[in-house]
């Protein structure tokens, strides 16, 4: 990597791959390159063994069973399978009411919009000023015909952790399925996803130092949600008929190893996030900055902020040679749209036009505190 490149602070978009994960992937590219579906020879058997190990590694993060892992191309596909996969079941049972939140990723909001066009009723719960949703607000909207509740684990823009355990309690006596988009929180917050009332969990490898292009929908069996799901992709009956296609063994094994490392190194990684968070706060000290999202319920690897009333593009331009930041979700930043998350948090002001997001990981080097502060002062 060239020495003159800015420090990468966009880890919520994608993380650098762990070198140990790369080694595992290379093994399954160069040595054990068989098709995991070919069980008649040692090459296929070795690949199948690697896939089985990965299922166990991923399942262990959320206290699931390995057979509850359905591999996908990433969290976006997993979200689509979880939401659109319930369409036929909803029509058959007359359950066409879905509850979600205004701060979800577009990979949830857009499938919901599609279902709304097909006659389903969608209710989006607004967040509090601190960026959390109120569990009682969700509970108060539940009905007998509620098919699904979908709430993210950690917001990708603010890093705010949503109160999943409390939402599970609201759902305890209901039949509604509960889906969680855990792309940002999987392997980074280890307690809430183990709640057995969470029926489906969408996760993505490249958010946790694994390869891009692989993820999973974790489908718990105890409430028969798998029987309610219809596949979005057919053609080979892989993944218990929920997602056909040849399994990319090298990606799956890389994902599995990344998931295992995330648990093993959770404490040390979190300590490093906190160190870097303190450095970033020092860089912002004394400047007219607004931090978005409640501090005590936010992952310490994320900071969404606005500098005075200065447009976010001006901030990114001033810092472009020092650090690489984002203006929000990487999936929508190409369209230069103001953050829908911050618009939901602050419906009465224009903060969404000024917000920038910094996100780091345990592999991030120390931050150039003075250079960041100096660059930002030029805008004031």
- With 0-12 CB in 10 A as exposed, 13-18 as middle and 19+ as buried, what is 294? middle
303 catalytic per annotation: no
Please state whether 355 falls in left (phi above 0), alpha (psi between -120 and 50) or beta. Answer: beta
Show Cβ contacts of residue 49 under 8 Å, excluding neighbours closer than 6 positions.
none
**For the CA atoms of the chain, what is the radius of gyration?**
21
Question: How long is the chain?
Answer: 380
The Cα diameter of the chain in Å comes to 68
Cβ neighbours of residue 228 closer than 8 Å, sequence gap 6 or more:
85, 86, 89, 177
Distance CA 5, CA 350 (A): 32
Q: Locate 287 and state its tokens.
A: 């400047």
> d(Cα 30, Cα 62) in Å, to the nearest integer?
31
Q: Spot the catalytic one: 11, 331, 356, 361.
A: 331
Q: What are phi and psi of 134, to 5 degrees?
A: -90, 115
What is the rounded distance in angstroms from the CA atom of residue 77 to the CA atom of residue 296?
31
Residue with the two structure tokens 């089985």? 52
Judged by phi (left if over 0) then psi (alpha if -120 to 50, else beta), residue 36 lies in alpha
CA 194 to each of CA 11, 67, 86, 219: distance values in angstroms, whole numbers, following the listed order: 24, 16, 23, 12
As annotated, the active-site residues are 331
């Amino acid at each position: 990597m060239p020495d003159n490149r800015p420090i990468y602070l966009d880890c919520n978009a994608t993380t650098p791959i762990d070198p140990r994960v790369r080694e595992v992937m290379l093994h399954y590219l160069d040595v054990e390159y068989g098709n995991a579906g070919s069980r008649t020879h040692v090459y296929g058997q070795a690949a199948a063994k690697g896939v089985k190990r990965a299922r166990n590694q991923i399942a262990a993060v959320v206290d699931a069973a390995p057979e509850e892992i359905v591999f996908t191309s990433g969290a976006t596909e997993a979200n689509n399978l979880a939401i659109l996969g319930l369409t036929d079941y909803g029509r058959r049972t007359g359950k066409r009411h879905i509850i979600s939140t205004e701060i979800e990723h577009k990979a949830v909001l857009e499938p919901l919009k599609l279902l709304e066009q097909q006659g389903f009723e969608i209710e989006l719960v607004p967040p509090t000023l601190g960026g959390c949703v109120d569990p009682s607000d969700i509970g108060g909207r539940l009905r007998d015909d509620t098919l699904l509740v979908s709430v993210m684990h950690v917001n990708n823009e603010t890093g705010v952790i949503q109160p999943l355990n409390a939402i599970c309690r609201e759902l305890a006596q209901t039949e509604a399925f509960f889906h969680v988009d855990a792309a940002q929180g999987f392997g980074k917050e280890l307690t809430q996803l183990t709640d057995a009332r969470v029926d489906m969990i969408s996760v993505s490898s490249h958010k946790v130092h694994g390869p891009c292009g692989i993820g999973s929908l974790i489908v718990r069996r105890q409430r028969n949600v798998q029987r309610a799901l219809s596949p979005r992709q057919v053609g080979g009956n892989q993944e218990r008929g929920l997602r056909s296609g040849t399994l990319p063994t090298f990606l799956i094994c890389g994902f599995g190893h990344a998931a295992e490392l995330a648990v093993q190194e959770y404490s040390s990684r979190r300590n490093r996030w906190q160190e870097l968070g303190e450095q970033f706060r020092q860089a912002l000290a004394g400047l007219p900055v607004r931090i978005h999202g409640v501090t005590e319920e936010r992952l310490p690897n994320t900071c969404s902020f606005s500098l005075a009333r200065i447009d976010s593009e001006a901030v990114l331009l001033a810092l472009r040679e020092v650090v690489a930041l984002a203006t929000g979700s990487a999936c929508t930043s190409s369209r230069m749209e103001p953050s829908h998350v911050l618009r939901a948090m602050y419906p009465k002001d224009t903060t969404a036009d000024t917000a920038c997001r910094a996100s780091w990981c345990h592999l991030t080097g120390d931050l150039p505190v003075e250079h960041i502060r100096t660059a930002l002062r030029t805008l004031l």
